[in-house]
Amino acid sequence: MNKKRDLFLRHVAQTSPEPLGLEIVSASGCKLFDVNGKEYLDFISGVSVSNLGHNNIEINNAVIEQINKHAHLLVYGEFIQSAQVEYAELLCSVLPKELNNVYFVNSGAEAIDGAMKLSKRVTGKPEIISCKNAYHGSTHGPLSIMGSEEYKTAFRPLLPDTRLIEFGNFDDLNFITDRTAAVVIEPVQGEAGVRTAKKEYFKALSSRCKEVGAMLVFDEVQTGFGRTGKLFALEHFDVTPDILVLAKALGGGYPIGAFIANEKIMKTLTYNPVLGHITTFGGHPVSCAAGLAALKIMLREKYFNEVAKKEKMFVSLLSDMPHVKEIRSAGLLMAIEFNSFDISSKVIKALLNNGVISDWFLFAPESLRIAPPLIISEDEIAAGCEKIKKIVNEI
Ligand code: PLP
């Protein structure tokens, strides 16, 4: 019996009936190393977090420098903290000019929750609309707008006045009315198994929101920071949301989230009531220092420019496999849909045994998730794909 594994299962709360339970002791670039020295190729980036890979020296140095200055000082928004201010300024400089005010929180779910509150506060309206198969986080607010009843039923009652529409369906835009405070949407649905919609859909959605006075909230928690081949996925659609939600890669490997809007909109959280949104640790200086360093690297090295080429390589190497229904991709966010969950779970387990970390999607368990760090080399892509092909061909 592995004692550490036993303690892990006994004392660390589990919500997965079958946690991987790997003991990773170090990580570097696209590789993870377990306690026995076995090497794993990271094909999921900690679920779209480690876009720059692991153990980046510049991020490490930024963290160390910040730790040597100070960690937490006071609740969010009271003191001027350089890392936070610099990061907010840099983020705003790379976003559409209307998005010029950043509220830092701790996670994606918290940022979505903040965006939901802000939408209600600004519009004075009650209803939040989201999409079927959408995932926006697991706390009560985001859960209330999750696009899967299966995951919601056990936790009802949830927030009232929510409605689901079909992602990409033009007719459903008519459900957005003058009662709607916000439409919360992922520009590319991640947990649905990488589903994209047409540019015209997002244009029509944006017009409909403007027409009825609803906030358009883009959830780029999974698509941000180069994942889809642009720094932000919104650039593919020529649409500027009223509120942009970021997390995951926002922190360069450290916990942070943010909702970003125009200063005029954000100001409504300052009055009636004052302190309309509060967080103790939101925008933690160490996370901001790490995220700031990561964004500087991303802007300097422009890894997002190589994403389309690497995506093509994956798709061409993985085409012509048996048992595959469809391959969907949005940059380095890819889903290999197999004929059944049985096949995808066999592939995922075999990949793990063969030193490749992959996963399925919450609402598309028959699909294999491939979302490696954007820095992945062509040799690593070839090696990982070779293993996938071999395993799938032998099933
Ligand atoms: N939104 C999207 C699109 C996500 O993929 C996730 C997490 O997977 C979240 C929100 C929630 O983020 P967090 O897990 O940091 O709360």
Determine whether the shortest distance from the Cβ of 219 to ligand 1 is under 6 A.
yes
Of 282, 281, 235, 276, nearest in space to 258 by CA: 282
Q: Tell me the three-class secondary structure of 326-393, residue by residue.
A: EEEECCCCEEEEECCHHHHHHHHHHHHHCCEECEEECCEEEEEEECCCCCCCHHHHHHHHHHHHHHHH
The residue whose C-alpha atom lies closest to atom 15 belonging to ligand 1 is: 108
How many Cα atoms occupy the beta-carbon half-sphere of 313 within 13 Å? 18
Q: Give the closest residue (by CA) to ligand 1 atom 13.
A: 108
Inter-helix orientation angle 285-301/82-93, to 10°: 40
Give the distance (Å) from ligand 1 centre to CA of residue 327. 23
- Rounded to 5°, the CA angle 9-10-15 comes to 55
Our answer on whether the CB atom of 222 is closer than 6 Å to any ligand 1 atom is: yes
Cβ–ligand 1 distance for 48 under 6 Å, the answer no
- Residues facing 328 on adjacent strands: 335
Asked whether 141 lines ligand 1 (CB < 6 A), one says no
Distance (Å, rounded) from C-alpha 305 to C-alpha 318? 22
Tokens of 70: 């100070």
- Per-residue confidence (pLDDT) for residue 102, from 0 to 100: 98
What pTM did the predictor assign? Answer: 0.98
Specify the 3-state DSSP secondary structure of 219: strand
Quote the ligand 1 centre to 99 CA distance (angstroms): 21
**Ligand 1, atom 5: closest residue by C-alpha:** 222
Residues found in the chain: 395
In order of 167, 346, 364, the CA distances from 192 in angstroms are 10, 20, 6
Paired with 42 in beta bridges are 357
Distance 1 CA to ligand 1 centre (A): 34
pLDDT digits (tens), the chain, 395 positions: 689 999 999 999 999 998 999 999 999 999 999 999 999 999 999 999 999 999 999 999 999 999 999 999 999 999 999 999 999 999 999 999 999 999 999 999 999 999 999 999 999 999 999 999 999 999 999 999 999 999 999 999 999 999 999 999 999 999 999 999 999 999 999 999 999 999 999 999 999 999 999 999 999 999 999 999 999 999 999 999 999 999 999 999 999 999 999 999 999 999 999 999 999 999 999 999 999 999 999 999 999 999 999 999 999 999 999 999 999 999 999 999 999 999 999 999 999 999 999 999 999 999 999 999 999 999 999 999 999 999 999 98
Tell me, using a 6 A CB cutoff, whether residue 135 lines ligand 1: yes
Residue 233 Cβ < 6 Å to ligand 1: no
Residue 139 CA, closest ligand 1 atom number: 16
Distance 341 CA to ligand 1 centre (A): 23
DSSP per-residue letters across 178-217: TTEEEEEE-SEETTTTSEE--HHHHHHHHHHHHHHTPEEE
Query: What's the CA-to-centroid distance between 225 and ligand 1, angstroms?
Result: 14
Q: Is 187 in the pocket of ligand 1 (CB under 6 A)?
A: no
Is the beta carbon of 251 within 6 A of some atom in ligand 1? Answer: no
Q: What is the pLDDT of residue 2?
A: 82
Q: How far is the CA of 321 from the centre of ligand 1 (A)?
A: 31
Give strand pairing partners of 261: 101, 243
Evaluate: CB of 130 within 6 angstroms of ligand 1.
Answer: no
Inter-CA distances, 342 with 1, 77, 133, 372, Å = 28, 49, 21, 23
DSSP H or E run through 27: strand 24-28
In degrees rounded to 5, what are phi and psi of residue 259?
-120, 135
Q: Does residue 136 line the site of ligand 1, with CB under 6 A?
A: yes
For residue 143, how far is the Cα from the chain centroid?
15
